Structure formats: structure tokens, C-alpha cells
Structure 1
Amino acid sequence: MRSRQWVLAAALLGAVAGIAWADGREPVLKQVDLPHSYYWRELYLPQLTTGPSSAAFLPDGNALVYSMAGSLWRQRIGDDEAVELTHAAGAYDYQPDVARDGRSVVFTRYDGKAMELWRLDLASGRAQALTRDGAVNVEPKLSPDGKRITWVSTQGTGHFNLFVADISADGLRNARPLLGERKSTIDRYYYSVYDHAINPAWSPDGKSIVFVGNAEIAWGSGDLWQVALDRPAQPRKILSEETSWSARPDIAPDGKRVLFASYRGRQTHQLWLTTVSGAAPLPLTFGDDEKRNARWSPDGRRIAYIGNDAADGNTSLMVMDVLGGATQRVQAGKRRTLAPAARLVLDIVDGQGHRVPARISVTGSDGRAHAPATAWMHADDGFDRARLGSEAHYFHCAPPCAVEVPAGTTEVTVQHGFAHAIGQRRIDAKAGRDMPVRVDLHAQPLAREFGDWISADLHVHMNYGGHYRNTPQRLARQAQAEDLDVIEQLIVNKEERIPDIAHFGHSDEGLAPTRIDHAQEYHTSFWGHLGLLNLRDHYLTPDFTAYRHTAMASPYPHNGVIADLAHAQQGVVGYVHPFDTVPDPAKDPVLSHQLPADVAHGKVDYLEVVGFSDHKATASVWYRLLNLGFRLPAGAGTDAMANYASLRGPVGMNRVFLDTGGRRDDASLFSAIKAGRGFVSNGPMLGLLLDGQKPGATVAGGATGKHRYRIALRSPVAVDHLELVHNGDVVKRFDLSGDRHQLDKEGDIELAEGWLLLRAWNDAADPLLLDLYPYATTNPVWLGQGGAVAGSQEDAKYFVAWIDRVIEAADARDDYNDESEKRATLDYLRDARATYTRLAEGR
């Protein structure tokens, strides 16, 4: 039986390297060879937003060219009309830089495959491709004399490096890396082992470039540097910094002052000034919003920047007087588009004819995504290139909402949680017309016998340095559009800052029917990350450990200590986004994840079986723990950065359905999590009854023998596999036919002691579900009085070998603060190993 279990696990997982991308689905911009794409994609690369994202002054200083909604626009400061300059089919334009003579603009164009540099002639409107290398080419900047260009490219390496070239009417010549590739001598976790050079800006004399580089920097995207073009091997550090990809320095026309964005001990980026000689920086702006992508006007009297301080938290283009600080918003009250447009007025109703908020994707006849002018546009983190030209984009809408689209065939897709079928419409948009579009959503709930559910996403970050500025009120509206009841908003550091720390311990009012709890994620990439829910007294600080090359490099406190501190204030402790692949003690280069040790010590209240990880890999580890008698409940959390423009799925993409009788109070919510009363899913909804008992319960009477089961499936996407799993083995497969969206079955089954659950999964990704692949599992129904199931000694031996590797990694660390920390850590791990040793020996 044990061998069959792991043959099945291998079939489920296939070959994976890093996070397992399901058949067809690939990461956006897969040519970038850097870790943690969910950071650099959002914090560095341009993203589609309905509001402005970057800007450059025209030579007179009274008008701007800026990117907005995937096009370039021109607008005079003080006017309310924006004139569209570019509109490419199936592509999006960003990061304009205007030539000093005002005749042309260089910019970045993204077409779903690569980011290339282009040039626009402002008189004729003709656009010309400058690069065609299939790499990521961003941040183009023209030299003051217009004869050269610098930019950042991944060409040849997959890493962000500084390039320079000559530019003429024919295009680029003599393109070359300016600094060359350099491998760091220190290890990094969030950044590549290779240094990057980003955010270039020319000096007024055109002889040097200021940029951001991270040579020998462990945490943060780097310091401010200056390099002379005739001495590229001798860069000079201007200022030590620690930003999240967003410094983007710009040298004043006087050649002395350097404008840049930094958080410098604060929770948001503000604008700061230093000098080319590295004088102590002083702030120009203040506040709780983000201020980034700043540019000087040609006369040095104004600064244009992108903020998110508008009432709706969307991006906004601001112009500030350097002297006095008077600031005005450049807003496109009217838009003069290049092509005729129609206006769709979307109305979303449920099965009872009631309006409901929803998640909506609108693709126009131009092959581009569209949204209302004030909506937050979001993008998926991967897609199947055989089925889509670019990643899916979507926005949340409380109907009615109006969307301007180009005339022609327009596709509309509408989703409202998991208990409604997905609505799709194709509309022939007529130029110059307002067109009402109604989408009716068909409800397909589970029968009440299976549970009286509330749904919860146990892992959401409200603000994490993204394009937008989120609030509890807007987060609640996002949840309502996703038909999500509860959000556990996990406050956490992003290196030096903790963006939502002010919300810890606060109770949000006026959010009904949504509940938002401001909890904590504990960051330690050595031991594994923890979700700390229901903390009643204080935020645990420092909220990270084992950060190499810092004063908090010690791996102590380990996660068991943190779990005790959380439990002391009635906290609920879970392991979050655990495994991208199944840990292999025999082959993994390093294995330091502490999950099995903490489970053995009784510290873990739930495991994110469905989360930002490979669900099948995580379930494989979970089954082994269940076999050893550890009643570890399944939780689920998206790890959604809810203020990102590009994120891994919307809030509630990974959620747990809890049978609380419909109640949302603390006692009902957290007792259901810890008791395992429910199921976890990224789409399919599952019902399971065994002898009338629901998941989390124990079947009364004799465990071994014949049992009556009843199962149900309801799914917004087609499901390939629906199975009953007993002690890690599939004991019943259900045939799915037709559209494979629903099934109801009951029958008898012979079972031994142990546990039984129902799971649904697919072999490949589904473009309508923004995750690796559809997956759902109930928590187990237990048979018998607990303890290890027959044949589980091999599972125990697996964890003995695992913890041996953790002890090896912990013992090898040389950065404990003192010997007592190391001794306490190793003693804790050895005690856990002893537990698994006894289980391996059948004791």
C-alpha cells in the first residue's frame, strides 16, 4: 500500500524545478532569470494600470507625455484633455522619455512575449522598433544631445544590466553593456547572485550616468552610483540606500542635486534630495501614500511624479513646484483616442436577479485589456501561450460600471466566487454608443447537508509596496466581488519596512458582511514562514530571523519559539506557502524547513495545503503527517498582495470553506480552522459525508469495515479527477462526463482505520482559474481513535531523514548570537527527531 501511495504522488507531481508550472502555463517574462518574480515584476517592471504610471516633460515644461492604460498620452498641465499618441494592437506602452528637441519619444512596449524599446516621431505619429532581441528592455533614457541612449536589458544573461548605444534616425548602433556582468561574493535570498544595475539617469553634460546597483548588498535593490562613460570600470558610490526597486534617481538640470524615491525608515516611498557628492539626503514629500517615478522639468522648477494618494488609491500623475511645494494633479477628464470607441455599461446579477459585485475581464477588438477609468487593473502572474497572447487582466466592479472599448468584437468574462458559474459574453461594440451589457450568473451551491459555510482567505497582504494604496474598506470590496467572507490580513515586513503595521490590533468598522482580521506573517526563509492569526496583545518583533549579513542573522528564535509566543496570546499558528516541490532529504542541497519538527511538538494549528506553492507537493507531505496520527488541518491562503497591479491571483483565489453554521465570530472561525471542519480550494467546491460525518469529525463505532459515503462536486471550471483518498491511497475514482462541473454520488466502501478525504484536481492549468492548476481537498474524516495507521513506519523514517538534514543545516550556521541559542535550537530538533524515531520503530 505504501509503494502505491508514492507512485501516485510521483504521477501527480511530474518533473518540477522550482515551483511547478502546470502543462502549458508559464511565468510572465520567463526570460528573466531572477528569483521571486512577484517582487521585481510589480516593484520594478511597468504594469498595466488605468491611471498614469510614468511621465516625462516636454521641452517647454508645461506639458507632459505619460503612460496610461497601455498607451502614451500628451497633456498640458492645467488642461483636462489627454491626447492619445500610441495604441498598439495586443501591446502596451510604458516609460516615455522625451528628446530634448521635443521631436520624438522613446518608450517601452510589452506584447506578451518581451519588452522592447520603441521610438515615436511626434510630428508624424510613426513608431519605430529600436530593439528586437526578445529580452526585457526597460527604462530608456536619451542623452541630453539626443545622440545616445541608455536603458536596462536582460539581453544575453537574463539579469538586469545597464546598456548604452548610439541612436540615429536609422535606430541603434554599437549597443553594449556598460558595466558588464558581476557575481556577488555574498549570498542573497530575495535577489540574484549576480549584481544588477537599474534606474539610469544622464548627467546634464552627458558624460556620466547615475544608476542603482547592488554590489555586495544583501537586502534591498541597492545604492546610488555614478559612472563616467569613458571609465565604466570605475563606478563611484554616491549614497548607501535600501529601497524596493523604486529609487529611480534623476539629476537636476543644475547637475548638482539628485532626486530619488526612498522609504528611509518610513513605511512608504517619498521623494528625497541628495547631491552627486552624496550629501545627507533630505525629504521633499511626506505622507502615507507612495510617491515614485519622479522627473525634473527642463528648467528645474517642477517635479512630476506618480502617486497613489487619490481617493480611490489608484495611480495619479502629480506636478509639484520645487519652490513652495504647491502640487496639482494632471487628470484626464477627457480623452481624445486614436480610434473610435464605444461605452459598455456592465450590469451583473445573480440567480435571483440581484446585482452582485464581481471580478471582470474585458478584452477589446484591439486585443488589449480594458477597465473603467478609476478601476484597479490587475494582471495574472502566468499564462498558457498556446491559448492566450498575454496574461489575463481583470478588475473588480460593483455594478453598474462603464468601460470604454474600441469599436468591434469585445469579450467579457465575469466571475463571482466559486459557487456561481462563470459568465461570458461577446459584444459587437458600436462606435459612439452607450451599450448596456447584462451578465446573469448561475448559482451552483453545495447542498446544506455538507455544511453551512463561510469562506476565508487566511493569507492576504493589504499593502506591500505595490502600485496602488489599499484600505480596509477597499479590501472588503475586493472580497465582496470575490464572494469571500473573511480575510486574514497578514502584516509583514518587506525588508526594512512593515507597510500595514499601523493596522495591527485595530477593528475595522462598516465592512459588513466582510470580516477583516489584521494578523501577522512571521518571515524566516530558513525555517519557513508562519501565519499568526488571532494575536490578542501585540505584534511579534522582530518579525523575521536568519537574515544573513544583518544584525538579525541568527536563526534563533526558531519557529517553535515563535509559535509559543503566539499561543501565549491566544494565537492560531499555521505554516504558509510551504512546498514548491516534495522535499527530498537524500537529494536537496539544503533542507531547513521546520514543519515536521513543529508538528511533532504540537505547535502547528493548520497547514496551507492550498496556497502560494505546489498544492500536490504540499499534500504529499501532509498525507505522511496524517498517516502518523497528527491531526493537522488544511488551511488555504492566496498570499495575495492586494495592492499589486501584477499579482498571483485575486484575493480569495485560495480559500478555506469552514463549517461554522454561518457564524463569523472569533470562536466559531478559529475553532473550525483548528478542528479541520471544511475544505480548501482554488475553484472546485467539495462535499463529503462518511456515515453522516463531515470532515474534521470521527466516525463512531468500528472503524474497519463497510461505510456509507456521499460526495458532491460543484466547480466553476471543468475538473479532470475526483477521488476518495484513504491513508494516502486512492480508493475510489469518480467518472466525470459532460462539462465536468458537478457531480453527486453515494455508495458503500470498505475502509480500515485511519482517515478519508475527497480531492479534485487537474493535470493542466485552466485559463479561467488564475493558479497553477485547479485543486481542492476536504479535510479528513477520521476512522478510529487516532495514532499511526498501518504501514506508516516509512513515513516516519522520511521525517527522521528530513530532520537529520535540518539539524545539519542548523548546526552549520555560524551566526547564532551565543552558544545557548544554538544549543536550544538543536535540542528542540533532536527531541522532534526522537518522536519520529519512535514512530518508525512502531512505538
Structure 2
Amino acid sequence: MRFLTTAFIRFTFVLCTAVLAVPADAQWTNRYPHVGTGHHVYLEGYELPTMNVGPTSPAVSPEGDRVAFSARGWIWMLDIQTGLATRITDGEEMDFRPAWSHDGTELAFVRDDSRDTWIVVRNLETDEERVINTPAIDLDPVFGPQGEIIYSSAAAGRFDLWSDNGTALTEGRPYELKPSLSRDGDVLVHLQKGGGLDRVVAVNRATGDSKQLLTDGILSQTRPAISPDGSYLAYNWPTQEGYELRVLGVTDPSTSVFLTGGLRGLPLSPAWSPDGTWLWFTEAGADEVMRLYRVPAAGGETEEVPVLTWDWGAATGTLRVVTRDERIGGGEAPATARLNILDGSGHPVVPSSGYAQFEGQNGRVFFYSPGVIEVSVPEGTVTVGAVRGLDTPEVTRSAVVRAGEVTEIEVMLETVWDARSAGFLSGDHHFHLNYGGPFGLDPEDLPLMMRGENLDVATPLLANLHTRFEDQKFWGWEKGDDPPLIRFGQEVRSHFLGHVSLLDTRTLFWPWIWGPGYQVYGLDDRPNSDALTHARHQGAIGGYVHPVGDSDPFAPENVANPPVLLAVDGILGNMDWLEVAVLWTDEIGTSEMWYRFLNVGSPILLAAGTDAMANFYRTMPLGVSRLYVQTQGKTSMAAYMEAMKQGRSFVTTGPMLEFELDGAAPGDVVSGEVSARFKIDLASAVTVDLVEVIVNGLVVWSGPGLDGPGSRTYQGSIDLPAAGWVAVRAHGGETVWPAADSYSFAHTSPVWIESIGSVAADAFQRAAEELMPIVDAAEARLRESYGDVATPRILADFEAARMKLMAGMPHP
């Protein structure tokens, strides 16, 4: 059903930041109009709506007999007595977070086209819509008593609360979100984020007085709801492993009452009944499908309010998708795959069980099929896109689905390169299973995702969410029988000193967090080498994650940007590996930093990971930034880790690279001061602009890449110096599925000249001269942040790094 009349309300604002996503030569920063600084991984993951096959963001009607909610990306109306849910919106865009007008004649909600959000107000009697749309992200509408709309908008370059008459109601912290109004409009509650701890604030609109009701760090899914009479606040509050629903009094918020932890510890989006007797919420089950619940506001048993019947308001049919991979049973057996399905209007289709996700590079909703899956769709043309890992070009198929019938689409996936036949296993060494998202995942949920990405190894990292330490219960959980292989690692966050990750350890490092910005251990004199040494003592390996955000970290304007101890630990060889490929930083800039570490004699290994938050709705697929390791066909975790430690690897966000130099592969050693023959095999499912041979950080040969899926072999000769290293990189090109980084990139580990860690004097001098300004800038930041607090241990590492650099620099 299309709406007949649309009236537009548009305001003129000055946007302070760019709207479009970043160009193809930088790190991913944002899909939606940019707010503030840095990338949007948390803003888009925490603040924008979640799409699910089940109900999200319930809103009870003024009469108390119906509940509006979002499901499948549309707004539905549930009759509480009959259990019948009727779809009231349709179309290509996705609709979320409904709110009722006081007289029950209108609904306001958020509309999302995968690049922007705006507010739609729909008249339930006439089906007419009016639109409130700024050039920025607009969220969370609520009605005032006179029919006015209050909503959150980033139109001024930060999130403020606005009225639909174009008046800004707040101008406070960077993010002011999630408004909730009492029935008379006198009490306005909202969430404040940024500039320190997050807060829930109540404002008396008559007097302008505000009161802080709650505060904590990173309130990722918290949504405050004021009671109709303005006396009580309901809110879902974070715990170490999830959320719980609580109520406090607005007059005296010093204590609160626990109502429920839900069935799985993730109650979301509390909403009051109009008489104040019930609190409604949604929660994902073990199958990650959202369900609707309510609990008495005074306390009592939680009860599910099931949707018994779904009335689409249009004829529907069933689409069955069968995916096959030529590598599995000769293409005869169904194969797990990543799918994107669009109905005839272009609206994304989601499965009836499990959960869908939205990746922000290509702007596509995706989910994983075990090989055969059925989905309900409106009748008409349906389009399926399928991939299975970075080495499979996307295959697209369309079919017409007829009402009441089952229509089957079969997709055969072909590969540009068979990693297993070539002796490689692939791994994602940086993602988080649960990290404040709306779902509660278990390790058993990972194999489906990994098989759908043809990913062999995963090391999900335990990490802090401010002062909360999630997923500790999974430490020691392993899947080590056969691929996919899973073993948990740990991300240690010493704030601005730099985040490090420990792989293959058997005990956790404590404390997980320290340094300026944390309330506890905030001024510890503790270098990152403590955590890195903790790994080495166990025969494990540690390194820096998401290290460099600039494409040229050595430019004068950028030397103060890398993590404070990154250069020091790289110069001293305190780290075992560096995460050269990761979604939230720049691969070219990180590889340039890596070259300098190699050139001063630190044989640092390659690593890669997505840094995806697997329980987000808005996140990247696992393995779209990964490490390939040559295990000679062995498929155990031990064989994989050993080959990784030997440097027999390459990292990639799309292209595949195999490299030989006089018959030697990455991790091997060749003789110096000779002319050496090289062979490069490039295969890619996406375009690649350029292939380069790097010797001691300098490009000595280059050739054109690929203008589409396929493969190419390059051969030639280069003159080798007496010492150092040789590696190959490929980069540039358009990002399309299966890729999801901002540009194509791949880099091999080095082939060493004469010995592992050998150093050419001229390369050492170049690197030392470029690293010294970064060391100086980092120490200045350290001293400024620690103030009068002595840090002799950290400063000793700075002094040692300087001495090493100066030893290789010319002296007057």
C-alpha cells in the first residue's frame, strides 16, 4: 500500500561536517551523515534503529488496546486481545521507533533509506504523511500534548533535541538523544552522551530546571521512559553481561527498584502503558528473534505478548534460496552463504529465525543461510545476492514469487582462488562477540557466520565496555576439532597508550584498562609491554590493533596521532604483530608504519581483523578483513598459529596474493646483493588498481591490477640489497560485495634478505629520521596527560627507543 499524499516540512540548517562516506583512499568513517569527529562505528551501532523479524520499539496506544512496533523494517499494529498484527507501512525504506499522538490519530516514526534517517508523521485515518527532514540524522520522535513533535537531530553538527517548528530545545553535550515526555508535557527526560560519562537527565519544561537521574559509562542500549504522570522513570540499565529493567522516582532518584532482567538479560526499549500499570519491552531470544513482553510497573511476573497472526495487507509467497559452492561436493551439496534479498520495492528481506545485519560500506542488509533457507516476501519480483567469503564474486538472481506458492532460486558460487587447495587457512583476529549490542550471542552462533564467509579461524576478543567486562564466562571456550576453529583472545586497553591484543594465551592479563581517562588505574605507570610480555611468557603473541588512522602518519600534522606507545613498542620490538588490515583504520598508513619498524630491525608479523561487533545490527561481516596463513594443508589451530608466527601469511580486504622470490615464500630467507626473480599470483573478486613490489619500504616494481573478478600472474627481476626484506602489496579499486572495507588492499609478509630481521643501513637511517618526530610527539602527549604524576617505567621505554634510533643515525 502506497501513501496517497505526502506533505514535506523542511528546515534549513548549516551542517558542520561532511555527509557522504569517506573516499576510497581512507579508512571507513560513516555511512550516514557525519556527526562529530572520528568514525561512526558506535554511533551507528548504538543509536540508529535495529531491524529484526520480530517486534522492536513498542509503543502502546492511548486507549491501551493496541501496540505499534517495527518488524521487518515496517510499522505494524498489534491488537492485544486477538494477537493480530497488521502492517501499516510498506515501500523500499525501513521504518522504526513509532510514537503515538495523544489522541491516537497519528503515528510518528523514523524512516531510514540506508544513508539518512528522517521523521515521518502518519495520519492513521487518511494514510497521509508529513515529513520532518533535515540534512542530518533525525531520530526518536515523541508527541507533545498539543500535537507538536520533539525529536533528536544532528542538524547543528551534534545531536540536540528539536521541536518540529524548527526550535532547538537543547544545546548541551555532543549527543542529546531519546526524548521521553510526560502526558502533560511538563517533564522531558532524555539521554546525554559525550564529554565524559553518559547521563539520563530530567528537565522541568516550565522552569527550565534539569536534574541528573542516572550516570554511567557507555549506555549503549539504554532508553529512558518517563511515566505518563511524570513521577517515575523506567529504564534498561547495563550490567556486566547485559541489561536489567528498573524504575526510580524522579523526585528522589537516589535509589531504584529492579523489575526484570528479561528472559535472557537483554530487555530493551521500555514503554509505559497509558494508565501507568504496565511496562512493555522487547527482548531477543536464543534464536535472536525479538519478542514482545510486559511486566507490571509495580513488579511481578513478566509475560510474553505473542503475535499470533501477521497481516501483511498484501499477498505473500515463500522464497526458497539454495546456495551451492563448486568447492563443496563438486557443487552438489548446499553451501552456507551470506545473502542480501530485496523484494520488488527494493525493501530488504529478513529471515524468520536468526538475525539480519546491516553493513555500512555498501549499505546492505545481510544474513547467513545454512545452504537452504525460506523467507516470506510480498508477491512480485525478488532479487537475491549471494557470496561466500572474499574469494567469491557476488552472484545475483531474480525470480517472481506468486501468492501462496513456494518459488525456488538456486545460486552456484564460483571462486577466483581456492585457499584450501593452495594450502592456506584464513582468520579474523579482531572482533567482539558481544559488545553492548541488542543481541546476546553465544560462541555456538559463530560457526554459521564463519562458514558463510569461508573463514577458518576466529579469535573473538574479550574487551571492556568502559568499566564493564563482558563475555568473561566464555574465556577458555574453544572449538578446535576442525575448521571453523575458535579460540578467545583478549584486547587490553590502556586508553591512549594504545590498544593491544593477546592471542593464544591461557590466562587473562589484569588490569584490562588503565591510563588517563579511566577513573580506576587512571594514572598507572604501566607500559603496554607488560601485557605483551604476559603473552610471550605463555608462548603466545601480542600486538597493536587499529593502530594508524592516517594514510600518511609521518606528515607533520599527523605525527601526534598514533597511539602513544605504538612507535616505542615497534622500535623496541616489544610487539609480535601489527594489525595492518582492519576496517576502522587505514591500511596504507599502517603498512607505512610497519615498514619503519621492519627497517629498524623489528621483525613484526602481520595480523588482520574486522573489529566488528558481532551482536550489533549495524556492523561489518566477519572476515572481510582477514589474515591468510600458509599451513601446508594442515587444519589445526596449532598449525595455524605456528605458521602465523613464522610469517607465512598475507593480509587482505579483498585481493589474494601469493608471492615467490627465487623460489622462497614469505617467512623464508634469500641471499642478498643478487638479481632475484619474482612471481606474483593475484586473484580477486573485486577490482584492484595496482600491484607493487616493496623492498625496504620502497616501491621497486609496479603493475596494473584487475578491472574485475579474475586472476593474473606477474613475473620479473629485481636487484636485492645486502640486507632487509621484500614484500608485495595490492591496493585500490571499487568496494563491492563480497568486500566491505573502504578500498581493496592486500599485503604479504616479507621474504627476508640474508637473515630474519636483517637491516640495511640506509633504510634504518630513513626510518629513524621519520620515527623520531612521532616518538617526540608521543612523549609530549604522555607528559601532558599524566601531569605531575611520575611515569619512570613508561619514560624508560621512550629513552630506550630513542637510543636505538640514534645508534643508526649519522652523527655530526
TM-score, with length taken from structure 1: 0.88
**How many angstroms apart in 2 are the aligned matches of 1:214 and 1:633?**
38
SS of 2:511's partner is: coil
Matched, 1:178 2:169: yes
Counterpart of 1:249, as a letter, is: P
Matched, 1:686 2:657: yes
Match of 2:449 among 475, 478, 485: 478
Counterpart of 1:306, as a letter, is: T
Match of 1:297 among 259, 262, 273: 273
Partner of 1:204: 183
- Deviation of 1:294 after TM superposition, in Å, equals 0.3
Partner of 2:373: 401
**How many angstroms apart in 2 are the aligned matches of 1:522 and 1:482?**
27
- Deviation of 1:113 after TM superposition, in Å, equals 4.0
**How many angstroms apart in 2 are the aligned matches of 1:20 and 1:72?**
32
Partner of 1:120: 122
SS of 2:188's partner is: strand
**How many angstroms apart in 2 are the aligned matches of 1:448 and 1:692?**
21
Deviations 1:664-688 (A, max 9, x none): 4453232222221111111211111
Indicate how the Cα distance of structure 1 residues 429 and 499 shifts in structure 2: closer, same or farther if over 3 A, else same: same
Deviations 1:500-538 (A, max 9, x none): 1111123358x853211111001133121111112212x
**How many angstroms apart in 1 are the aligned matches of 2:698 and 2:442?**
45
Partner of 2:573: 602
SS of 1:619's partner is: helix
Deviations 1:378-413 (A, max 9, x none): 112234xxxxxxx12211111211123333333221
Matched, 1:655 2:626: yes
**How many angstroms apart in 2 are the aligned matches of 1:42 and 1:813?**
29
Partner of 1:772: 742
Counterpart of 2:210, as a letter, is: P
Indicate how the Cα distance of structure 1 residues 767 and 481 shifts in structure 2: closer, same or farther if over 3 A, else same: closer
Matched, 1:540 2:506: no
- Deviation of 1:66 after TM superposition, in Å, equals 0.3
Indicate how the Cα distance of structure 1 residues 201 and 690 shifts in structure 2: closer, same or farther if over 3 A, else same: same
**How many angstroms apart in 1 are the aligned matches of 2:217 and 2:419?**
53
Counterpart of 1:119, as a letter, is: V
- Deviation of 1:740 after TM superposition, in Å, equals 5.2
**How many angstroms apart in 2 are the aligned matches of 1:488 and 1:405?**
36
Partner of 2:701: 732
Partner of 1:627: 599
Partner of 1:456: 427
Partner of 2:134: 133
Match of 1:218 among 185, 193, 196: 196
**How many angstroms apart in 1 are the aligned matches of 2:786 and 2:667?**
43
- Deviation of 1:334 after TM superposition, in Å, equals 3.6
Matched, 1:150 2:128: no
Counterpart of 1:257, as a letter, is: Y
Please tell me whether the aligned partners of residues 23 and 765 of structure 1 are also in contact (alpha carbons under 8 angstroms). no
SS of 2:120's partner is: strand
Indicate how the Cα distance of structure 1 residues 281 and 361 shifts in structure 2: closer, same or farther if over 3 A, else same: same
> 578-587 vs 433-442, which deviates more?
578-587
Matched, 1:525 2:492: no
Counterpart of 1:756, as a letter, is: V
The alignment-based identity, stated in percent, is 27
> 638-647 vs 709-718, which deviates more?
709-718
Counterpart of 2:556, as a letter, is: A
- Deviation of 1:571 after TM superposition, in Å, equals 3.0
Partner of 1:371: 350
Indicate how the Cα distance of structure 1 residues 69 and 775 shifts in structure 2: closer, same or farther if over 3 A, else same: same
Indicate how the Cα distance of structure 1 residues 692 and 491 shifts in structure 2: closer, same or farther if over 3 A, else same: same
Please tell me whether the aligned partners of residues 761 and 808 of structure 2 are also in contact (alpha carbons under 8 angstroms). no
Please tell me whether the aligned partners of residues 766 and 773 of structure 1 are also in contact (alpha carbons under 8 angstroms). no
> 558-567 vs 246-255, which deviates more?
246-255
Counterpart of 1:85, as a letter, is: I
Indicate how the Cα distance of structure 1 residues 106 and 714 shifts in structure 2: closer, same or farther if over 3 A, else same: same
**How many angstroms apart in 2 are the aligned matches of 1:448 and 1:550?**
48
Partner of 2:768: 796
- Deviation of 1:705 after TM superposition, in Å, equals 1.6
**How many angstroms apart in 1 are the aligned matches of 2:288 and 2:470?**
15
**How many angstroms apart in 1 are the aligned matches of 2:29 and 2:794?**
39
Partner of 2:473: 502
Matched, 1:57 2:33: no
**How many angstroms apart in 2 are the aligned matches of 1:714 and 1:54?**
45
- Deviation of 1:824 after TM superposition, in Å, equals 1.4
Please tell me whether the aligned partners of residues 22 and 29 of structure 2 are also in contact (alpha carbons under 8 angstroms). no
Alignment of 1:152-551 (within 5 A): 152-155=152-155, 157-164=156-163, 172=164, 174-179=165-170, 181-182=171-172, 194-214=173-193, 218-219=196-197, 221-222=198-199, 224-232=200-208, 234-263=209-238, 265-277=239-251, 278-286=253-261, 288-308=264-284, 310-322=285-297, 325-351=300-326, 352-353=330-331, 354-383=333-362, 391-446=363-418, 451-508=422-479, 512-537=482-507, 539-548=508-517, 550-551=519-520
**How many angstroms apart in 2 are the aligned matches of 1:88 and 1:20?**
28
Please tell me whether the aligned partners of residues 691 and 702 of structure 2 are also in contact (alpha carbons under 8 angstroms). yes
- Deviation of 1:235 after TM superposition, in Å, equals 1.4
Please tell me whether the aligned partners of residues 369 and 393 of structure 1 are also in contact (alpha carbons under 8 angstroms). yes
- Deviation of 1:213 after TM superposition, in Å, equals 2.6
Counterpart of 2:661, as a letter, is: L
Specify every segment of 5 or more residues in structure 2 that has no aligned partner in the other structure, as ranges: 1-17
**How many angstroms apart in 2 are the aligned matches of 1:837 and 1:17?**
45
**How many angstroms apart in 2 are the aligned matches of 1:332 and 1:512?**
40
SS of 1:176's partner is: coil
Indicate how the Cα distance of structure 1 residues 150 and 586 shifts in structure 2: closer, same or farther if over 3 A, else same: same
Specify every segment of 5 or more residues in structure 1 that has no aligned partner in the other structure, as ranges: 1-15, 165-171, 183-193, 384-390
Deviations 1:315-350 (A, max 9, x none): 332222345633333444542223433321000011
SS of 2:460's partner is: strand
Match of 2:795 among 823, 826, 836: 826
Deviations 1:793-833 (A, max 9, x none): 121111122212222222223357x53xx111111111111
Counterpart of 1:120, as a letter, is: R
Runs of 4+ in 1 over 6 A off after TM superposition: 16-19, 23-26
RMSD between aligned residues: 2.7
Partner of 1:387: none
Indicate how the Cα distance of structure 1 residues 595 and 237 shifts in structure 2: closer, same or farther if over 3 A, else same: closer
Counterpart of 1:459, as a letter, is: H
Partner of 2:108: 106
SS of 1:304's partner is: strand
Deviations 1:473-493 (A, max 9, x none): 111211111111111110000
Please tell me whether the aligned partners of residues 446 and 712 of structure 1 are also in contact (alpha carbons under 8 angstroms). no
SS of 1:175's partner is: coil
Please tell me whether the aligned partners of residues 690 and 707 of structure 1 are also in contact (alpha carbons under 8 angstroms). yes
**How many angstroms apart in 2 are the aligned matches of 1:681 and 1:737?**
15
- Deviation of 1:747 after TM superposition, in Å, equals 4.3
- Deviation of 1:78 after TM superposition, in Å, equals 5.7
- Deviation of 1:54 after TM superposition, in Å, equals 0.6
Partner of 2:11: none
